[in-house]
Structure 1
Amino acid sequence: MARFYALEISQTLFGDACLTRRWGRIGHSGKSLSHHFERADEALRLFHTLARRKTGRGYCIRS
């Protein structure tokens, strides 16, 4: 089964960092979950943790 998992860090209108996770089957809209942080380094830390976990399970990194 072809699946995707996407991570994105963006800035909210209030200046906070937001990490958005999207996942599901390729060809479908999938699901999403957003995490809000006061500092960008906290979002980056979670980004790296999740990326390391997913690559360990066989997902490939694409830009």
Structure 2
Amino acid sequence: MIAQPYQLYVERKDHAKNMARFYSMSIDANLFGELCLTRRWGRIGAKGQTLIHHFEREQDAFALFLDLTRQKRARGYRTRSAAARESDSAAPSIVIELGANR
């Protein structure tokens, strides 16, 4: 049984390099009661790849979860809202107003 849910979804975008990647992780129990750390990654909008690690103890799964989270943060991955703010500040903003100005 898991003490609390562990989930992460981060993105890394670089418009100059045409890079738009995602990385997600979660710790869940499977049908047999084993703890599984499920990792998914790939290009945003694509199915991506999946890798599942099986653990007997929650502490081991959580240790890998934290280690991978640190690695991704160091490589520039950010939560979706933080990534959007960073990309919005670098991109010029265009405002289109719709209305009847006749």
What band does the TM-score fall into relative to the shorter chain?
Answer: over 0.9
**In structure 1, how many angstroms separate the alpha carbons of the residues matched to 2:31 and 2:79?**
28
**In structure 2, how many angstroms separate the alpha carbons of the residues matched to 1:40 and 1:61?**
24
**In structure 1, how many angstroms separate the alpha carbons of the residues matched to 2:25 and 2:31?**
19
The one of the two structures with greater contact order (alpha-carbon pairs below 8 A, sep at least 6) is: 1
Q: Percent identity?
A: 58
8 A Cα contact 1:16 1:40, kept in partner: no
After TM superposition, the score normalised by the length of structure 2 is 0.58
Query: In structure 1, what is the equivalent of residue 54 of structure 2?
Result: 36
Aligned residues: 62
RMSD between aligned alpha carbons? 1.0
Unaligned runs of 5+ in 1: none
Report the Cα offset of residue 12 of structure 1. 1.2
After TM superposition, the score normalised by the length of structure 1 is 0.92
